[in-house]
């Protein structure tokens, strides 16, 4: 139908992807779902609550991956040998999750399609708290970071938000050093 295409590459093998027409169709269906449920305003307001925590989550992930330091340019990779440091960062993730679970529930209340996110985050945090730290930010499992990125993209698509434009607008609003 022209909405998907099969792509073969030398580096990544073959795959299916949406064409521009297909992507437009998906966005139209998402907008139809959102407006049909009468949930546009509620989802947008809940998304603003999500965004209020997004920067903190990104900082938290950086802190998980990098050791502390005053200069971001000289921070060293976290080899996870300092259990005290890692325990502190995991505790911060747990607090963030406690703050976010009501927001995840609100998204699910507005659109049923979002109902799976809260349990997926809970599953990831359970693994992290149990000592399986791959569930924090590894791309090999449905880590907290992986689910966060997926949900963020899903929300942007649902609300018709262009990711690059949103990032540029947020960067412009942040105070410069």
Residue 61 confidence (pLDDT) above 90? yes
Q: What is the pLDDT at residue 4?
A: 79
- Closest by CA to 22, choosing from 44, 49, 3, is 3
Using the predicted structure, report yes or no on whether residue 175 has a pLDDT greater than 70.
no
Within 10 A of 116 (CB to CB), how many other CB atoms are there? 13
Q: Which pLDDT band holds residue 111 (cuts at 50, 70, 90)?
A: very high
Phi, psi (deg, nearest 5) at residue 116: -75, -15
138: pLDDT confidence band, cut at 50, 70 and 90?
very high
pLDDT band at 70 (very low <50, low <70, confident <90, very high): confident
Q: Which has more pLDDT, 8 or 100?
A: 100
Q: How confident is the model at residue 171 (pLDDT cuts 50, 70, 90)?
A: confident
Quick one: what percent of the chain has pLDDT higher than 70? Answer: 97
CB 3, CB 21: distance < 8 Å: yes
Q: What distance lies between CA 138 and its chain's CA centroid?
A: 13
d(CA 58, CA 14): 32
Q: Output the pLDDT for position 13.
A: 81
Q: Which pLDDT score, from 0 to 100, does residue 5 have?
A: 82
Predicted confidence at residue 76, as pLDDT, reads 92
In this model, does residue 115 exceed pLDDT 60? yes
> Percent of the chain having pLDDT more than 90?
71
Q: How confident is the model at residue 177 (pLDDT cuts 50, 70, 90)?
A: low
| Lowest mean pLDDT, pick from 9-18, 121-130, 158-167 | 9-18
Mean pLDDT across the chain:
92
Lowest mean pLDDT among 51-55, 68-72, 86-90, 116-120: 68-72
């Amino acid at each position: 139908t022209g909405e998907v295409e099969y792509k073969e590459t030398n580096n990544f093998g073959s795959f299916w992807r949406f064409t521009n027409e297909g992507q437009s169709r998906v966005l139209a269906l998402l907008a139809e779902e959102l407006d049909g449920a009468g949930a546009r305003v509620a989802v947008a307001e809940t998304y603003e609550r999500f965004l209020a925590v997004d920067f903190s989550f990104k900082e938290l992930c950086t802190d998980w991956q990098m050791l502390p330091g005053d200069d971001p340019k000289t921070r060293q990779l976290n080899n996870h040998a300092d259990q005290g440091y890692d325990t502190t960062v995991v505790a911060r993730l747990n607090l963030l999750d406690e703050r976010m679970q009501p927001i995840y529930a609100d998204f699910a209340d507005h659109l049923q399609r979002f109902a799976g996110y809260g349990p997926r985050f809970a599953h990831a945090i359970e693994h992290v708290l149990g000592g399986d730290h791959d569930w924090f930010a590894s791309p090999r499992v449905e880590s907290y970071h992986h689910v966060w990125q997926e949900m963020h993209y899903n929300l942007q698509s649902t609300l018709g938000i262009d990711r690059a434009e949103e990032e540029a607008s947020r960067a412009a609003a942040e105070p410069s050093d």
